[in-house]
Chains A and B, each alone.
Chain A
Amino acid sequence: MKSLRFILPLLVFAVLLLFLWTGLSLKPHEIPSPLIDKPAPTFELARLDDPTKTVSERQLHGQVWLLNVWASWCVSCMQEHPVLVELAKTGVVPIYGLDYKDKRADALAWLGKHGNPYTVSISDPEGRVGIDYGVYGVPETYVIDRAGVIRYKQIGPVTPELLSEAILPLVRKLQAS
């Protein structure tokens, strides 16, 4: 029994290794969403700025739009935020924000502080809609076409290269079709 004590660190490490190994095969950035080319899951959620009004995905049919999942507690969102603000200024495509597992006051303060790129933000305090969309980690960005079909999903921050090389060309193509 006494010598077991000395093996304990090794055992703990073995368990840790096992998790890290599975973690490697998870590859958070590379898993393609099963939702690609499927209709965007339905939702009807309260607006962040005005909880008395709700927004549903049906209202957005007929236009190409981006769904950006964000939260005031999310560090990586800080990184992509200026990129979204710049994009919103160009007016190429409306960005709808899904404020994920967040407090309304925090979220509004965050937008006030860092700029609001969103046409409308809706709040998902319990993350239910997030589950429907298979939100993997915040931030995430979806490109949804006129028919309400998800055409692209980005996990992690949107970078200027990603925007100019993948997202915007796709948006233009979808808008033209």
Chain B
Amino acid sequence: MIPELGHFALIVALCIACVQAVVPLMGAQRGDPAWMALARPAAQGQFVFIAIAFGCLAWSFVSNDFSVLNVANNSNSTLPLRYRFAATWGSHEGSLLLWVFMLALWMTAVSVFSRHLPAPMVARILSVMAVVSVGFLLFLLFTSNPFERLLPPAADGRDLNPLLQDPGMVVHPPMLYMGYVGFSVAFAFAVAALIGGRLDATWARWSRPWTTMAWAFLTVGITLGSGWAYYVLGWGGWWFWDPVENASFMPWLAGTALIHSLAVTEKRGGFKIWTVLLAIIAFSLSLLGTFLVRSGVLTSVHAFATDPRRGVFILAFLAIVIGSSLALFAWRAPKVGLGGAFALVSRESALLVNNVLLLVAAAAVLLGTLYPLFLDALGLGKISVGPPYFESVFVPLMTPAVFLMGIGPLARWKQDAPLDLLVRLKWAFGVAVATAILLPLTLGRWTPLLGLGVLLAIWVIGSGFVNLRERLVQVRAATGPGVRALPQLPRGYWGMLLAHFGVGVFILGVTLVRGYEVEKDVRMNIGDTVATGGYQFRLDGLSEVKGPNYEATRGVFSVTRGTRTVATLNPEKRLYTVQQMPMTIAAIDTGLTRDLYLSLGEPLPGGAWVVRVYHKPFVDWIWGGAFLMALGGVIALTDRRYRLARRERAPGAEPVAAAAAQGTR
């Protein structure tokens, strides 16, 4: 009964979505307030029904209802409760349901936090989002029904893929999807603005917090996924340029470009066409990512079971949504007009160049991901594109981008003096060069790439401090003595600074771990000791462990440094009994300056094991840096001007809010 209820709720949601996609939009075109007013309750109603459907599926998983095909395929009665719940989105059908659920959540958020927007705008935005929702609901109902029954029911389920039985996997998909789907808001804003013909600074200020929020979620989602790969795949890597990773990375790059472009549109009224295009591209790449993962055109570690009908459906949907929005762009954008002019050396041009670099990077990732497909389609042979391509493309693209990150925030809008900029940044540059030479040398080895990595990282952080100092001096000059300057700086500024520091921390982590990680594969028997990176690892014992749905061999290792015991590590080699799938569970001792990473390889005759020992300096800075970026986004969201804009709803208040925003910059 519960699964049918869920199925029915999805159908109701589809009906509401159809109405919401048409009526408010027509209302906005005809100027009919009643039709426009339908948008909000429709969005909220859709949310309620999709939430019911989601709840029904979760209930089926939690209560082990193996008469539901999806549950029988992806769960098992021995699976612990938290993974049974997470299994709700562990399958193709379930993850799509999560997708529409997130979309409904964003729609509801827009319907609640849009009181200050003009009614036609809200109506158009929610209609555009409903179009996306209709597409995905149809896809769910016709090709991927999560509630399909299995009669007679299975005695027990086939279990969730052991790779997904991990706490990180419980949170990673919802975060990632919040980000992916969140770009639909920016997209809807852009399309609504194109339809309505209103593309100005106010429009940018409205869509900016939504975009930043989606971007922050996506950042967290990708970071969690990378962390998961690091400790679950058991071989210590953190990014593999796998097609599915790329699918989430492309919208991130486009989204990063978009939030910077939005800043220019909001502050200076420039880059309008560019911003609209980026908003369309960011969401298009999210949709394309969904297509790549769901259709099976590319093979990947994440590949779910595929069905050719699904590929055709999503492709048709992509063609309609992206095609029509780009056609709308081609039709309306020429009438938008240009923003203010700016000189070659100005904050605008720094941001523009950065934007282009980010977009080129996204295109390079897209090319690398699809290249095997292109060649194959043209009959030119079959190849695989691996990390060497991506790395050799990425470093030269990101080097100037990161260099500009140091200059951009310091440059004045419209025009700045190049010489003056150089003088202001000389200390940051000097410190960066000195560190780039000295730090690798003190750590034992200097290579050009190591030097470059450290240089860029310190450059970003150092120029951030120069920027902060200058701002404080400005604030003091404006307020006079006796006023504490730090609290005067707006949150948007702090967010930017923090996110940029995050990039520096990230680069430092990547550089140091690549340059100085030590990895050893050794044969160990009980009582053996291996030394790596100044630590001694001793295998104290091995034991057989029985988990709820697996059997494991667990190693007990004591880690010492000199005479001091640092940690006890327990790596496991598990065999998940239902799927007969072996899994390596690494044991990691995390530290600020290093990770000690141990995993069991293969058993050898005579009771010994192949053991992999890694000493990974600064590896956690990679994710630390990424979390700082996301935190920066969240802090920017709490900026005063968004709250002001929300409070002052009267149309007359618009210039005041704009002026306030300008003032706090």
B582 lies within 8 A of A86 (CB)? yes
Most chain A CB atoms below 10 A, which of B295, B580, B612:
B580
Among residues of B, the one whose C-beta sits closest to the C-beta of A155 is B299
Contacts of A82 in B (CB 8 A): 581-582
Instruction: Establish whether residues A23 and B330, one from each chain, have CB atoms under 8 Å apart when the complex forms.
Output: no
Contacts A17-B319, A24-B312; A73 near B386 (Cβ below 8 A): yes
21 A–B contacts from the bound complex (CB under 8 Å): A6-B273, A6-B329, A16-B370, A17-B315, A19-B373, A20-B291, A23-B297, A23-B370, A24-B297, A24-B308, A27-B296, A29-B296, A29-B306, A74-B386, A82-B581, A113-B235, A113-B521, A113-B610, A115-B601, A115-B610, A160-B579
Q: Which of A11-28 contact B (CB under 8 A)?
A: 13-14, 16-17, 19-24, 26-28
What B residues does A13 contact at CB under 8 A? 284, 322-323, 326
Assess whether A112 is interfacial by the CB under 8 Å rule. yes
Range for the number of chain B residues in contact with chain A? 35 or more
Interface residues of B (CB under 8 A from A): 233, 235, 240, 242, 273, 277, 280-281, 284, 291, 295-297, 299-301, 306, 308, 311-312, 315, 318-319, 322-323, 326-327, 329-331, 333-334, 370, 372-374, 376-377, 382, 384, 386-388, 521, 579-582, 601-602, 610, 612
The docked-state distance in angstroms from the alpha carbon of A14 to that of B322 is: 10
Q: How many Å lie between the Cα of A29 and that of B579 in the bound state? A: 22
The answer to whether A7 has its CB under 8 Å from any CB of chain B is yes
Q: A81: shortest Cβ distance to chain B, in Å?
A: 10
A103 to chain B, nearest CB (A): 11
A-B complex: 7 closest residue pairs judged by Cβ atoms:
A22-B377, A10-B326, A115-B602, A23-B297, A7-B330, A82-B582, A23-B373
- Contact residue among A14, A113, A156, A160 (Cβ-Cβ distance under 8 Å from B299): A156
Chain A residues lying within 8 Å of B284, measured Cβ to Cβ, are: 13
Residues of A in contact (CB 8 Å), total: 42
Residues of B within 8 A of A115 (CB): 601-602, 610
Which residue of chain B lies nearest to A134 when distances are taken between CB atoms in the complex?
B382
Q: Decide if B581 touches A114 in the complex (CB within 8 Å).
A: no
In the complex formed, the residue of A with least CB distance to B296 is A29
Chain A residue numbers with a CB within 8 Å of B308 are 24, 27
- CB contacts (< 8 Å) of A168 on chain B: these are none
With both beta carbons as reference points, the residue of chain A lying nearest to B374 in the complex is identified as A19
Complex alpha-carbon distance, A6 and B296, angstroms: 32
A114, B233: Cα distance in complex, Å? 12
Q: Are A75 and B297 in contact (CB under 8 A)?
A: no
CA distance A87 to B326 in the complex (A): 52
B393: shortest Cβ distance to chain A, in Å?
Answer: 16
B209 smallest CB distance to A (angstroms)? 26
A26 to B387 CA separation, bound complex (whole angstroms): 24
Residues in chain A near residue B273, CB distance under 8 A: 6
Decide: B242 and A75 in contact? CB cutoff 8 A: yes
Interface string of A74-112 (1 = CB under 8 A from B): 111011001101100000000000000000000000001
* Cα of A24 to Cα of B370 in the assembled complex, Å: 12
Q: Do B386 and A76 touch (CB < 8 A)?
A: no
Q: Are A9 and B382 in contact (CB under 8 A)?
A: no
